[in-house]
A = this chain, B = another copy of it.
């Protein structure tokens, strides 16, 4: 008997028919003897419907009073779907009870619309589990110290589920979603892409942050911090598939390197074509230039991804970074108007038609020559590398966007990712 947390997304909760299927699946687990906590999202479309009503009344504003009410509003979606799931479970003959975030309570800070979980009281939930009940905890929301309802931001139900699993010291947190796991890369680009049976927490972080939008990245950070075993699996399998088979499906995100398992050097190929590169060229090389450039960018609320500064030559250096493509024009203007004159730099250059391709793998830590193998594979395809950036478990290159698919396929093949 294990303590298991299930998380179901809005699509899985999208109609009473689907809620009934979720209930049947949860009932199967409960009848197998597991203690079950379920974290549902709002019914699909509901959060958007509610926020559209708010937007119709007043255009979004950054102020606290407005955001407090947005959270009051949006939190109703999960409260309703949780109550409905409890009713569906009761119809299955199980005892079930639902709790809103404030009832658990799930304590957060007061950053409305993007709150962070600070603590979860497990007493109430544990008492219900001990009494043989399935416990449903609303995703996406919590309560601050003053008793105001807060929400965790889009996709926050993943984080809720992991946080609840951490607080309950659950044996596993199963995230049911519309994909059946984490892949070596996007199967739409590489048909040979394989589902990973396991992926390390660090790899998952790199994959998630680079556009493999399977999980909300904060939920992975949370899982990593509290070492919650987390599984991504499909909610589209029939609810009555064999429980053992279901429990082994999807991708398990692990936190301990399994000694018995030969770790693949590279686990996956991530990519992102939403970026643009910007360079400030001929910057006099003196202390503080990185701050002067990036400080101005940050002040304008522009997020920066890759940052590169090469060694200087003749007392001058070139400073490059990437931003979201939507921020490209604004970044160039900002640099030309303010930063270049202040720094005495020569010029600003940039390109919005680029993409970033990365190889990710925890095995890279202990293997040499991985980066050079990557560069060779790209050069054999005639792909020019514009920027390189590396971390312990990731090597990224910026290339012309027109080569993206070619590069992903070449790297997938070069690192034998299409072989089980």
Interface residues on A, range: 35 or more
Q: Is A314 an interface residue (CB 8 A)?
A: no
Nearest CB to that of A43 among chain B residues?
A: B53
Tell whether, in the assembled complex, residue B102 and residue A58 are in contact, meaning their CB atoms are under 8 Å apart.
no
Q: Is A88 an interface residue (CB 8 A)?
A: yes
Chain B nearest CB, measured from A54 CB (Å): 5
Bound complex: CA of A96 vs CA of B64, how far in Å? 11
* Identical chains bound together, number: 2
Q: Is A192 an interface residue (CB 8 A)?
A: no
Interface centre among A68, A83, A100 (most CB of B within 10 A): A83
Known contacts A57-B88, A76-B76, A103-B147; A97 and B83 CB within 8 A of each other: no
Interface centre among A66, A90, A95, A96 (most CB of B within 10 A): A90
Q: Is A390 an interface residue (CB 8 A)?
A: no
Nearest CB to that of A20 among chain B residues?
A: B57
Q: Is A389 an interface residue (CB 8 A)?
A: no
Interface of A (DSSP majority class) = helix
Q: Is A82 an interface residue (CB 8 A)?
A: yes
Contacts of A420 in B (CB 8 A): none
Q: Which 10 A-B pairs have the closest CB atoms?
A: A58-B91, A76-B76, A73-B83, A72-B83, A16-B56, A69-B86, A69-B83, A57-B88, A76-B80, A57-B87
Q: Is A1 an interface residue (CB 8 A)?
A: no
Nearest CB to that of A82 among chain B residues?
A: B72
Chain A residues 360-409 with CB under 8 Å of chain B are: none
Q: Is A357 an interface residue (CB 8 A)?
A: no
Between-chain CB contacts (< 8 Å), 29 pairs: A23-B57, A53-B84, A54-B83, A54-B87, A57-B88, A57-B91, A58-B88, A58-B91, A65-B86, A65-B95, A65-B96, A66-B87, A66-B90, A68-B97, A69-B86, A70-B87, A72-B82, A72-B83, A72-B86, A72-B98, A73-B87, A75-B79, A76-B76, A76-B80, A79-B79, A100-B149, A102-B102, A103-B147, A103-B148
